Amino acid sequence: MTTSFKNICTFTILIFCVAVCASQNLSKSSREKAIERKADSVLKLMTLDEKIGQMNQYNGDWEATGPITYDGDKQNQIRKGMLGSILNVTGVEHTRQLQEMAMQSRLKIPLLFGQDIIHGYRTTFPIPLAEAASWDLNAIKLSARIAATESAAAGVHWTFAPMVDIARDPRWGRIMEGAGEDTWLGSLIAKARVEGFQGNGLGSLDALMACAKHFAAYGAAVGGRDYNSVDMSQRALWEIYLPPFKAAEQAGVATFMNSFNDLNGIPATGNAYLQREILKGKWNFKGFVVSDWNSVGEMIPHGYAKDNYEAAMEAVTAGCDMDMESRSYIKNLSKLVSDGKLNPSLIDDAVKRILIKKFEMGLFDDPFRFCNVEREKQQWNNPSNLEKEKQMAEKTIVLLKNENQILPLSRQTKTIALIGPFIKSVRDNLGFWSYIWPDDTARIITTWKGIQEKINKDSKLLYAKGCNINDSSTAGFAEAVEIARQADIVIIQVGEAPDMSGEAKSRSNIHLPGMQEELVKAIQATGKPVVVMINAGRPLIFNWTADHVPAILYTWWLGTEAGYAIADVLFGDYNPSAKLPISFPRSEGQIPVYYNHYNTGRPAKNDNDLNYVSAYTDLPNDPKFPFGYGLSYTSFSYSDMDLSGKSFKAGDSISVSFNLTNTGKFVGTETVQLYVQDLVGSVVRPVKELKGFQQVVLKTGESKKITFTITADMLRFYNDKLEYGFEPGDFKVFVGSNSRDVKEASFALIK
Ligand code: NOJ
């Protein structure tokens, strides 16, 4: 290339950037059009190889989350404009180094830096499943906002989040990364997370591009085994699994990631129905789709492509715009075009989508705009972020049991025994998809530290580890029992290690691992009052503990300030308000167990009804803890449920109201839940579906009238022709504090 041509290209791109900046004041759609024109103009300057380069994404060669291919010189490829994006490189210094290489390329097209910012960056927030337990959409949005602010200040442009996969199988390790089992709640949370990550919009210095993943149905892997196949009806796909993706799309999510699984025999990465027909067709999604790690290449072991040549062809044809780490595109797309197998307009479309995002991020204007050392420093130690993290963590802790009001504890308690493998552990508070920083040990607040700082000076803390997380030794039991005997109250913290839930962390046995439940039994046998806290990334099974121990808190993986949040809850400075976003099974044999199941033709009348009904002969049908469940230190009563009428017509609405009273001794927040059942449909309908919730704060003795409005739109579902509509008929409406404990009334939707 001659120097003068190089200059023309640079000049041309500069002009575009000026135009893009000037366009900031234009209306949204004219700004979009202006950016589209600029992307078109850049596209015209590009060679086929440079276009293919934009569709190529490599790992930064450290912090790998999968197999890395070392063939080829990544840095040279950046200089040649053969790379559009890089993942797992953060920090202003590193991103600047690589971006400088991109600026040596002919067209100086900036790189996009992508990263799994799942639940925080410098400040680790509770895992996404825990955050879903807050049912607090503003708090969830704020958590994503802070994660975006911290990571954007460290040079990151793009997060591979939120994961919006609905999951009903707690054996699946990635359940920790989503919002649980309910589609409607999951859709609201998907929107909140996209809005949180993307802030005031792409181009703001504290906004990340979000990525709705994994498109689609990844959460329905057969047997809960990660990466496994998915076989499901069209109705289940549309009604249960797609809505959170649609919600993310409507919230303006910049990108989508396809998924590892095959869906009804076609790998999602090569699935034109999902990507072209639904996403880019019906939904008119304007952003781009990135593959999952090597998922293009994995179409070979799937048995869907013979080699990478075929895999690349299938993926691009199906609408996958960027290839993460498989090198199938960079090695094969040019030949596919020259062989006449791939229409180059598909490449143009993919590249244009990618360029548009780079323009929207302002990277053509200034490729180093996310590389500001001062901003990075400021966000590195931001005490306000830590405070917000603690507040979020408090909202996620679920009080599962509190017999005899053991909790909250008094600060005056003389001797407290703290027992269990999680009491003093540090990294175990963060969970999968969190970052390791050199000062973690000093920074992460352990349970021990949180409680130590909370209690009175003359109170005494005793400690014994008791056992490890996951081995068969009981050697530490005697010491633990001994200190329990000396205490006025015993707090035991058990659970699973952070690497036991997450990607590729499916487990067939989800009981409390190792000897931990035996430890709980040994301590409970001392007769001392016991509180058990459970750290986990999924619903675990702990029936003995649930049946015998008087007080239980589910403490998930709470993040950097975990210990402070735990101490606040234990001592009543925060009154628990969280509600489970997923059912907790009694045994693995019950999985999948979820609240919005069908009634069947032979529903069991009760747990003892085994008379040729749909039941297990050795297990009740209902879960140990139902969806929506969670206690408070206070108590609430629901009374005077009333409907505004007996029926309503489409276009009108009906309201359901009731009185909520705080009947206990503490100020408390109750998440009141509204469920509906369509009694007769052209296809069978679930026994309950969540349709609304409100978070209500009440003082002791205070009552409030709560009202929900139901419209016909809220009663829509997919019929067997995949038409989305409501059907006149009879309905039940339920209000209550969880999906099991409800009051009910009836109404009709009439023509
Ligand atoms: C594989 C995971 O499935 C995906 O969610 C993640 O974003 C990529 N690896 C990149 O780390």
Does the structure show a pLDDT above 50 at 260?
Answer: yes
Categorize the per-residue pLDDT at 21 as very low, low, confident or very high, splitting at 50, 70 and 90: very low
Beta bridge partners of 675: 690, 734
* Per-residue pLDDT, 60: 87
* Ligand 1 near 174 CB (within 6 A): no
Residue owning tokens 């950016």:
35
Per-residue pLDDT at 283 exceeds 70: yes
% of the chain exceeding 70 in pLDDT? 95
For the stretch 676-709, pLDDT in tens is: 999 999 999 999 999 999 999 999 999 999 999 9
Tens digit of each residue's pLDDT (9 = 90 or more) over 636-660: 999 999 999 999 999 999 999 999 9
Best of 156, 160, 294, 432 for a ligand 1 pocket test (most atoms within 8 Å of beta carbon): 160
Over residues 57-76, the mean pLDDT reads 65
- pLDDT score for 222: 98
User: How far is the C-alpha of 224 from the C-alpha of 507, rounded, in Å?
Assistant: 8
- The predicted-structure confidence for 200-227, as pLDDT tens digits, reads as follows 999 999 999 999 999 999 999 999 999 9
Position in ligand 1 atom list of the atom nearest CA 161: 7
The encoded tokens of residue 683 equal 């296809």
Residue 9, pLDDT score? 41
Could you tell me whether strands 415-419 and 489-495 are parallel, antiparallel, or unpaired per DSSP bridges? parallel
Decide: 503 in ligand 1 pocket, CB within 6 A. Answer: yes
Give the C-alpha distances (Å, rounded to integers) separating 63 from 66, 82, 149, 150, 433: 9, 22, 21, 18, 11
- Section 606-618 average pLDDT: 94
Token digits of residue 404:
């005899």
Rounded Cα distance between 126 and 133, Å, is 10
Per-residue pLDDT, averaged over 24-39, amounts to 85
Task: Find all residues with CB under 8 Å of 401, minimum gap 6, and list them.
Answer: 546, 549, 550, 551, 552, 631
Closest CA to 501 of 446, 556, 578: 556
pLDDT at 12 over 70: no
Q: Is the CB of 213 under 6 A from ligand 1?
A: yes
Q: Give the residue-averaged pLDDT of 599-610.
A: 95
Angle at 61 between CA 55 and CA 63, to 5 degrees: 110
Query: How far apart, in whole angstroms, are the C-alpha atoms of residue 113 and residue 159?
Result: 9
Q: pLDDT band at 61, cuts 50/70/90?
A: low
Mean pLDDT, rounded, for 478-488: 98
Q: For this structure, is 499 an active site residue? A: no
pLDDT at residue number 556:
98
The beta strands (E) that lie in 219-303 are given as 255-258, 262-263, 266-267, 288-290
For 548, the token pair is 């015998």
CA torsion 341-342-343-344 (nearest 10°) is -130
62 Cα: distance to centroid of ligand 1 (angstroms): 14
Q: Is 293 in the pocket of ligand 1 (CB under 6 A)?
A: yes
Kindly report, residue by residue over 539-566, the tens digit of the pLDDT.
Answer: 999 999 999 999 999 999 999 999 999 9
- Chain-centre distance of CA 722, in angstroms? 27
Q: For 14-27, what is the HEC assignment?
A: HHHHHHHHHHHHCC
Q: What's the rounded Cα separation, in Å, for the pair 595 and 496?
A: 25
Is residue 675 a contact partner of residue 689, using CB atoms and an 8 Å limit?
Answer: yes
66: its two tokens: 């999968």
Question: 443 or 61: whose pLDDT is higher?
Answer: 443
Ligand 1 within 6 A of CB of 68: no
Ligand 1 atom 9: residue of nearest CA: 293
Under the banding of pLDDT at 50, 70 and 90, the label for residue 466 is: very high
Ligand 1 neighbourhood includes 160 CB (under 6 angstroms): yes
Cα(475)–Cα(482) distance, rounded to whole angstroms?
13
The pLDDT tens digits of the residues spanning 413-443 come to 999 999 999 999 999 999 999 999 999 999 9
**CA-CA distance, 506 to 164, in Å (whole number)?**
18
- Residues 559/120, Cβ–Cβ less than 8 Å: yes
pTM, entire model: 0.95
Whether residue 67 has pLDDT greater than 60: no
Question: pLDDT band at residue 76, thresholds of 50, 70 and 90?
Answer: confident
Question: What is the whole-number distance in angstroms between the Cα of residue 292 and the centre of ligand 1?
Answer: 6
- Which pLDDT score is estimated for 221? 98
Say if residues 420 and 516 touch (Cβ distance below 8 Å): yes
Say how many Å lie between the CA of residue 48 and the centre of ligand 1.
28
Calculate mean pLDDT across residues 304-316: 98
Among 257, 501, 506, the mutation site with the greatest number of ligand 1 atoms within 8 A of its Cβ is 257
**Residue-averaged pLDDT of the chain:** 95
- pLDDT at 70 (0 to 100): 57
Query: Is pLDDT of 16 > 90?
Result: no
Q: 626 by DSSP, 3-state: which? A: coil
Asked if residue 56 has pLDDT above 90, the reply is: yes
Which tokens sit at 146?
Answer: 């802070």
Q: In the prediction, which pLDDT does 537 show? A: 98
Would you state the structure tokens that stand for residue 496, as one six-digit string? 């699973």
Residue 169 has pLDDT above 90, yes or no: yes
30 CB-contact burial (10 Å; exposed 0-12 / middle 13-18 / buried 19+): exposed
Helices (H) and strands (E) in the chain, counts: 22, 26
Residue 723 confidence class, pLDDT cut points 50, 70, 90: very high
Give the atom of ligand 1 at the shortest distance from the alpha carbon of 114. Answer: 10
Question: How confident is the model at residue 19, as a pLDDT?
Answer: 44
Q: Which of 61, 65, 259 to mutate to test the pocket of ligand 1 (most atoms within 8 A of CB)?
A: 65
Predicted pLDDT of residue 13: 47
Question: Tell me, what's the pLDDT at 492?
Answer: 99
Look up residue 205 and give its DSSP letter.
T
Q: Confidence band (pLDDT; 50, 70, 90) for 28?
A: confident
In tens, the pLDDT along 77-126 reads 999 999 999 999 999 999 999 999 999 999 999 999 999 999 999 999 99
What's the pLDDT score for residue 72? 58
507 lines ligand 1 (CB under 6 A): no
pLDDT, tens digit, 9 for 90 and up, residues 229-256: 999 999 999 999 999 999 999 999 999 9
Measured between its terminal Cα atoms, the distance across the chain in Å is 71
| CA 213 to ligand 1: nearest atom | 5
For a pocket test of ligand 1, which of 259, 503, 505, 506 has the largest count of ligand atoms closer than 8 A to its C-beta?
Answer: 503
Which residue do the tokens 């993986």 mark? 557
Catalytic hit among 136, 182, 292, 678? 292
Residue predicted with more confidence, 503 or 22: 503
What confidence score (pLDDT) does residue 73 get?
A: 75
pLDDT of residue 29: 87
Residue 71: what pLDDT?
52
Find the 360 Cα to ligand 1 centroid distance in Å: 24
